[in-house]
Structure 1
Amino acid sequence: MKRFSDYFYSQHTPVKDTVLHVLAESCDSANVVQLILAGHGRLLMKLNKRGETALHLAARNGHLGIVRALIDYAKSEAGHWFPPCSDRRKRMLRMASVAGNTALHEAVWNNFYDIAKLLVQEDPEFRYPHNYALETPLYVAVEKGRHNIMVLILESCKTPSYLGPGYKTALHAASILNSPESMKLILEKLPNLIKNVDIFGWTALHYAAKFNHQEIARLLLSADRSTAYVAAKTDGFKTALHIAVINGHVVLVQDILSHCPDCWVQITGKSRNILHLAIKHEKGEVLEFVLQNSWASKLINQNDNEGNTPLHLYVATKNLDGNCLVNHPFVDVNSFDNSNSTPLDRIVRDDQLSERQILIKDELEQAGGTRGYRNVATVKKNLRASSPDEVKKVEKLAANFSIVATLIATVTFAAGFTIPGGYYSDGPHKGMAVLGKKAAFITFVISDSLAMFASIDAVLGLIRLFQTKNYRLK
């Protein structure tokens, strides 16, 4: 006959919660837990459908009395257990659910400090792993703003783990949430995290630059100023300075440069310097600050991967006031990009200019800007391709012309052999055209020859045009 204890052990809800699970979730009754475990100790480690023990549920619901009763029973000599009871306690504390969560994860998420303290003190050697969402208890504590639990973990755990989603660390989270107190303690306990990068290649300093968290940035730069030189390999090799410029945080730009005066030389993966970025993203305050520095003369005419100088990028802006750039004493207003275009070449025909383009055109011309001359020899009238669509239209039109010209050349060439009226087959004029002395025939021969040579010339000209591929629409 089946023993009653076995029957009690096998009873559960549809989600496989045992009576101990139900009690741990519903109320904080330590005495009842002790009574249940006294007769049915095997329920201590019994898992529900989510892979959770009663300890998980008690920690999630803040039932400190039950958490303590479960731990005390695991430490006791009660029941039959092998190996020793100390291992039973550690095993229970370290058990992870189907989602990878330990009881400490549950306590941190729900901000139950006393339960977190009890769990950590019972097993300070354990390096709590991340769950399947890549969240460690320490990262969750920082991200959720549980400062007292964060302090508890950092000070009680001998080797605290720190990872979060996207390979962020607790230091990233402190930077994003703008928590200087957390930042100071993490830097003290885990100083090596300062150069750790996430999935985007960003350090904690990148995030401080993104969100303009100036105190956080100063703490990081004071701890290790070399973090300012870390370039995000998976985000266009941007440094924290580049991020600060892109977002227009001029004070943070100044702070970074005050700690690392030479980091202005770094460029992005597109070979753009901070002046390129300030203009591209239309950050006027940053632009003015950069141009006030003596080293701006080394940036102002640099080319990116497409040959653009900062002035080339200025032509495409919508609202930026770039007078300080156009009239800078070191700017080359007639510099060429990779397609041999000057900044003024970027402006389309006068009858198509917007008010903004007219303004920039006037600024460039007053500063001595001119249209380029390097492409003049390639195509008549210095055609300029103002857009890829226009280039395609020209190519299609030229292709059609070449077909027509080829047909004309073929027909006119054939007409020279099959002339109207035919030839004399005998007599003194054998082989001569029958209509050779007629005015209309002479006119036909001359017209046919002109048509043939003109069409051949047109075909050859179009072939040369396609070979150069440097033509432009004006």
Structure 2
Amino acid sequence: MVKIELTTDPSSSGSCAAVNNPLFGSGMHPKLLEACRTSNCGLLDYLCDHLVGPDILEDKTPYGNNALHLAVTLGHGTYARKLWLREPSLLTSQNNDGETPLITALMAGNKSMAKALIAAASSMELPDHDLERLAGNRMCLMLEMVDTCGQNVLHYVLRNMPDQDLALHILDKVRQHQDTATRLSTKVSNYGESPMHIACRRGYSDVVEKLLEIPGSSDEGPRNTTAMHTAVLAQQAEIVNKLLKKRPHLASRVCNGETPLTLAVATNNLEMVEIFMTHDPSLAYINGGSSDAIVFGSQRELDESCYHSPFMLAASLGRVDIAKEIAYHCPDSAFYCTAPDRSNALHEAIKKEHLKMVDYLLQTPQFQRLINQSDSGGKLPLHCAASMCNTELIRSLLHHKAQDCTAVTTDNENAVDVVCTKNDLCRTRKWNDAYNLLSHEINFATLDPTENRAKKGISKEEQKEMVYFMPHKYTTNTSLVAMLIAAVTIVAAFMVPGGYSRDISDRNLALFAKKASFVVFFISDAVAMCSSLAVAFLCILATWGEDLEIYSVKYKAWMQRLMLLAYIMTTVAFVFGLYTVLSPKNLWLALLILALSCILLLIMSLVSGNLAVLEFFFRLRNVFLPRCRSRYNSLCPG
């Protein structure tokens, strides 16, 4: 038995007069608030039956929450049941944010409380002869209520519940009430989200299937997107299949410059691309994915500005597997483009320097027409590769038998001319390799004899220096260093660490031959010697004859790798040679040398990885230091 001590004195704090106290304003009676907080059912009965009356349940807090809101928030199930049995209207009462007790339970993640509220609204006894119809209406009224943000029960249950069980339970409840089901499924919140959009985003495929069975259910999402777009972004293949079956027109919708297929391409989702292409291959001819879309224009302008087909988008992003899938279903999809510059898929792959995509397009016979197809400026893919001085792309194009090397642009420039205009890359190895490759393929007799190359930023003397003397200078210096390393390693191999044994049984054998550090010394010394000799051989091979095409980026790349390997192995041999000699008597000194050498190897690795940056700063020093000196001499002649 709950002991309740209340006074009936009107002047006391527990009387009805407390409701009108300025401290509480028009809020909830303090004793009712205490009963809600402590889940005191006895106090609730006393307030309703003796002290105040049933009207006390109409009290609300300043936030508009009634007693049932508070009980649901605190999770007091028994107390909440007593409240809705005393006053059924509490089930459909809303607070200042438009939330019903059911929405409050959903926001708290209390599934059992939410189910109890729905069951109460659907089976509550009412003083009427048509009990089932009225009970159904009460439940439908509670489910259809929306908050101030335009969200109904389905919005909240899909967003706040960790699974789709409760959403399916609600949809089963309204199956016999078609009007309620329609209003629930068609409601779009103030944020532009429909229940189907949220279900697609959360991956609730069963809920999506139930919603698709309701005629007219909304599939809208924010910013004019659809449930199909959302399912693709969420990588929900099962939901996409269901949407394609029930609403196939969504697959061709262009929203914010994207179709569902272009979204699948952009997210590199091969499975999704296969689903769309199997369903309808014509989707490959719908443009989307424009990088120049009118962001601040109308939606119509935004959608009409898209000019990338799915295949073009795959080419520009380097998605080879996706491009193969699209080309399998639509062999001519690579030729479909309405871009202003009329660039094709090979142009796009070269601009983004996707070598694997370029090789795929060049090796596939059906795409041969792309090789000599020019854009609006008359530029072939070869001209695009030449403008970037990318020797790998240039070599791939030049090796194709169909390539027209002598083609010119609308400015009457061939590929060599395009390279010569790249003043920002002048005097770099990248520029030199590109010029070397192209000049060997293109007959200079076809060039315009009146062309003034000095206007393009480089004279003929400079061209000769860069094309002929730079390779010789580079290989000469590299070969000298390589031979020096080879000589050092050969001498170190014969002058073994610690010398030779003087014992009669082991005469002329290395003293420390059985130590592991000695074995490491000999292996690293041998690798360093072989690497340096290989570099020297490549340097000699690269300068044979007058045909300097053999001096290519492949030779230099191997020279750099082998030279770096020789440096590292020479350092390792030095360290372990000293370690072999010093470790028996001076272990601390051997470990110190080992640590310093590890730091040196780390620095060498970092420098080799950032060689281009160091070369840039070195060039800046050569440019600005003479200017500073001349400026200083002019200001201080003495």
TM-score (norm 2): 0.54
- Give 1:345-356 correspondences, 5 Å limit: 345-348=417-420, 352-356=426-430
* Greater Cα offset, 174-183 or 365-374: 365-374
Match of 1:321, SS state, is helix
1:360 is matched with 434
- The match for 1:401 is none
Query: What is the percent sequence identity of the aligned residues?
Result: 22
Residue type matched to 2:195 in 1? P
Could you give the per-residue CA deviations for residues 168-190 of structure 1, whole angstroms, max 9, x where no partner exists? 32222332233322222222232
Question: Cα distance, 1:264 vs. partner?
Answer: 1.5
Answer yes or no: is the 8 Å Cα contact 1:283–1:320 preserved in 2: no
Q: CA deviation at 1:24?
A: 2.3
Q: 2:204 aligns with which of 128, 138, 146?
A: 146
* Larger helix percent: 2
Please give the alpha-carbon distance, in whole angstroms, between the structure 1 residues aligned to 2:216 and 2:444.
Answer: 65
2:260 corresponds to 1:225? no
- Please name the residue that 1:327 is paired with: 399
Say whether the 8 Å CA contact 2:285–2:309 is kept in structure 1.
yes
The C-alpha deviation readout for 1:360-379, integer Å capped at 9, x for no partner, is 111211221659967958xx
Query: Pairwise mapping of residues 236-275 of structure 1 onto structure 2 (< 5 A)?
Result: 236-269=306-339, 270-275=341-346
Q: Give the corresponding residue for 1:121.
A: 172
TM-superposition CA deviations, 1:393-412 (whole Å, max 9, x none): xxxxxxxxxxxxxxxxxxxx
Q: Secondary structure at the match of 1:333?
A: coil
Paired with 1:56 and 1:79, the residues of 2 have a C-alpha distance of 27
Distance 1:5 1:249 in 2: 70
Give distance in 2, aligned partners of 1:27 and 1:198: 43
Q: 1:183 to 1:236 in 2, by over 3 A?
A: closer
The residue number in structure 1 matching 2:384 is 313
Cα separation, partners in 2 of 1:245 and 1:52, compared to 1, 3 Å:
same
CA distance in 2, matches of 1:47, 1:268: 54
Q: Deviations over 1:284-328 (max 9, x none)?
A: 111111112334342222232343321121123365612121233
**Shift in CA distance, 79/106, structure 1 to aligned 2, threshold 3 Å:** farther
Deviation of 1:212 after TM superposition, in Å, equals 2.3
| Cα gap change, 1:53 to 1:353, in 2 (>3 Å) | same
Aligned equivalents of 2:449 and 2:54: distance in 1? Answer: 94
Mapping 1:40-55, distance limit 5 Å: 40-55=87-102
The amino acid across from 2:248 in the alignment is P
Alignment-mate amino acid for residue 368 of structure 1:
I
Separation in structure 2 between the aligned mates of residue 189 and residue 32 of structure 1, nearest angstrom: 45
Report how many residues are paired: 379
1:304 and 2:371 are equivalent in the alignment: no
Are residues 209 and 318 of structure 1, via their aligned partners in 2, closer, same or farther at CA, if it must alter by over 3 Å? farther
Contact 2:265 2:310 in 1 (8 A): yes
Point out where structure 1 has 5 or more consecutive residues left out of the alignment.
Answer: 387-474
Instruction: Trace 1:361-440 onto structure 2 (pairs within 5 A).
Output: 361-368=435-442, 376=450, 383-384=455-456
Q: Give the drift of 1:34.
A: 4.0
Deviation (angstroms), 1:262? 1.4
Alignment of 1:34-183 (within 5 A): 34-60=81-107, 61-70=109-118, 72-73=120-121, 76=124, 78=126, 86-109=136-159, 110-124=161-175, 125-126=181-182, 127-154=185-212, 157-183=214-240
**2:66 maps to which of 1, 18, 23:** 18
Q: Equivalents in 2 of 1:139, 1:290: separation in Å?
A: 38
Deviations 1:198-241 (A, max 9, x none): 212x2221122122222221111111111111002456411111
Give the match's secondary structure for 1:93: helix
How far the C-alpha of 1:4 sits from its partner, in A, is 4.8
| Corresponding residue for residue 350 of structure 2 | 279
> Cα distance, 1:256 vs. partner?
0.4
> 1 CA distance for matches of 2:118 and 2:265?
47
Query: For the structure 1 residues 376 and 76, does the alpha-carbon distance in structure 2 shift closer, same or farther, using more than 3 Å as the test?
Result: farther
Amino acid at match of 1:41: P
Which residue identity does 1:308 align to in structure 2?
Answer: K
Q: C-alpha deviations, 1:407-435, integer Å up to 9, x for none?
A: xxxxxxxxxxxxxxxxxxxxxxxxxxxxx
How far did residue 355 of structure 1 move? 1.1
C-alpha displacement at 1:274, in angstroms? 0.5
Q: Match for 2:334: what amino acid?
A: W
TM-score by length of 1: 0.70
Task: Give the CA deviation at 1:261.
Answer: 0.9
2-structure distance, mates of 1:122, 1:373 = 81
The 1:235/1:289 distance shift into structure 2, 3 A limit, reads farther
Aligned mate of 2:362, from 288, 291, 299: 291
Provide the C-alpha distance between the structure 2 equivalents of 1:225 and 1:261, rounded to a whole number of angstroms: 10
C-alpha distance in structure 2 between counterparts of 1:205 and 1:72, whole Å? 46
132 and 335 in structure 1: CA distance in 2 versus 1, 3 angstrom threshold:
farther
Shift of 1:247: 1.6
In structure 1, how many angstroms separate the alpha carbons of the residues matched to 2:390 and 2:438?
Answer: 16
